[in-house]
Amino acid sequence: METISTLKIEKRSNSKIGDVDFNNLPFGSVFTDHMFSCEYVNGQWQQSEIIPYGPIPMDPGAKVFHYGQAVFEGMKAFKDDNGKVFLFRPEDNWARINKSAARLAMPEFPKESFMEGLKELLKLDDAWIKSGEGNSLYIRPFVIATQSGVSASPSDRYKFIIILSPAQSYYAGEVNVVFAEKYSRAADGGVGFAKAAGNYAAQFYPTDLAKKEGYQQIIWTDASTHEFLEEAGTMNVFFRVGDKLLTAPTNDRILDGITRKSVIQLAKDAGIDVEVRQVSVKEIVAAAQAGELKEIFGVGTAAVVVPFKSFGYQDVNHKLNAPENSYGLKFKKMLNDIQYNRAEDKYGWRVVVK
Ligand code: COI
C-alpha cells in the first residue's frame, strides 16, 4: 500500500490486460485493473483510494436503487505516438459533475482530489491506453447514494467512483435518427441539463421503439410543442443548412456538452457561420426538401462526431448524402488532432497526465 498526499493506492497483483482483445472492443464492455473510490460520510468526503477494479458491496436499501440518486460524467484520455497521455478539458467534467450533483441534492466533490485521483489512476493503468487513431480510454466518474433507507429524501452517504474502459468507436454501424413526435427527454425546470443516470434510462424505451422503425437514435424535441430540435440521443446535435451551422442553445433541458462547445469554437476559428439558436423541425424539413440540408451530426465525448445517414419525420425518411467537404468530419479531425497531440492547442484544452 502506497499513499500519495490524501490518496491510498492498493495495486492489483496480476493484470487482466492479457485477456483483452484490443482489436475487438464493443464500447464500454471491458474495464481496466483499477478504480478510484471515495466515500462521503458524516458530511465529508473521506480519504480517496485507488483499489483493484471489482464489485462494490451495497445494501439493498441504498437510495440509489430506489430513487435513482446518481450522476456521472464521460471523459477520455488519449496517448500520442511518443507514449504521452492527455486528458481533454477535464476541469469542465469536474465542474459539470458537481453541477449535476447539486441538482440531485448530492455533495460536490473537491477538484484537487478529482484531478489527482484521476491522474494517478491513469498512470497506474497506462498500459490500457493505446495510441493510434480511434483508440482512447473512456473514463466514467460517477456518484451514487449509498445510505440505506427507503424514505424519499436525499442520502447522507455517497460513493464517488472512477472506472476506465479502453475504447474505439461508439457506434458499430451507420446512424439514422428520427425526430421525436411523442416522447420527451427533458422538460423545463427538470434535470435535462444534468448527467443524471435516469435521463438515459428514460430514453431506452422510446429508442427501442425507434430501432424497430430502423432508427438508431432519436433527436429529441422540446417537450411542450415538439417543434424545436434539442439533443440527439446521448449527444448534442448540429445541422448544416447551406454553409451555415445551427445548434440549439443550452438551457435547463440540454446538456452543456464539452464536445459541443469545442465544435462551436473550432467552427468559428474556421470562419464557419454558427448560429446558436432554436432550430425548428419545420425549417429543417423545408431545408431537406429544398436540397439545402447538407448534414446533421451528433457530438459527444463517447461518440466524438457522428454524421447521420438519414432522418425520419412523420413517417418520411430523408436521406442525407455526405458532402465532400463534410463539416462533421472536419471537426472530428480537428478535435482528434488536438486530443492526440498532433495540432496546436490554442485554448489549453489538452492536460498532460504523464
Ligand atoms: C458520453 O458521450 O460520454 C456520454 O456520456 C454518453 C454516454 C451515454 C455514453
CATH number for the domain formed by residue range(s) 176-337 = 3.20.10.10
- Ligand 1, CB cutoff 6 Å, lining residues: 74, 200, 234, 300-303
Q: Which helix (H) or strand (E) covers residue 318, if one does?
A: strand 316-319
**Atom number, ligand 1, closest to the C-alpha of residue 259:** 2
Residue 3 is predicted with a pLDDT of 52
Residue 172 is predicted with a pLDDT of 84
The answer to whether the CB of 128 falls within 8 A of the CB of 32 is yes
Q: How far is the centre of ligand 1, averaged over its atoms, from the C-alpha of 207 (Å)?
A: 15
DSSP class of residue 282? H
Q: How far is the centre of ligand 1, averaged over its atoms, from the C-alpha of 43 (Å)?
A: 30
Residue 169 is predicted with a pLDDT of 87
What value does the mean pLDDT take over residues 93-109? Answer: 98
DSSP states along 107-164? ----HHHHHHHHHHHHHHTGGG---STT-EEEEEEEEEE--B--SSS--S-EEEEEEE
Percent over 70 (pLDDT), the chain: 99
2-167: CATH architecture: 2-Layer Sandwich (3.30)
Which of these, 219, 247, 242, 225, lies nearest to 311 by C-alpha position?
219
pLDDT in tens, 250-297: 999 999 999 999 999 999 999 999 999 999 999 999 999 999 999 999
Q: In CATH terms, are 2-167 and 176-337 the same topology?
A: no
Ligand 1 pocket: which of 301, 305, 332 to mutate (most atoms within 8 A of CB) = 301
342 Cβ neighbours under 8 A, 6+ residues apart:
80, 336
Q: How far is the centre of ligand 1, averaged over its atoms, from the C-alpha of 290 (Å)?
A: 33
Q: How confident is the prediction for the chain on average, in pLDDT?
A: 96
Taking the C-alpha atoms of residue 117 and residue 186, their distance in angstroms, rounded to an integer, is 32
What value does the mean pLDDT take over residues 13-38? Answer: 96
Could you tell me the residue ranges of all domains in the chain? 2-167, 176-337
Q: Is the dihedral of CA 328, 207, 201, 34 positive or negative?
A: negative
pLDDT in tens, 205-232: 999 999 999 999 999 999 999 999 999 9
Collapse the DSSP code of 334 into the 3-class scheme (helix H, G, I; strand E, B; otherwise coil) and give the result: helix
Grid cell of 199 as nine digits: 435521463
Q: Per-residue confidence at 4, pLDDT binned at 50, 70, 90?
A: low
Phi, psi angle pair for 114, to nearest 5°: -65, -50
Residue 6 is predicted with a pLDDT of 73
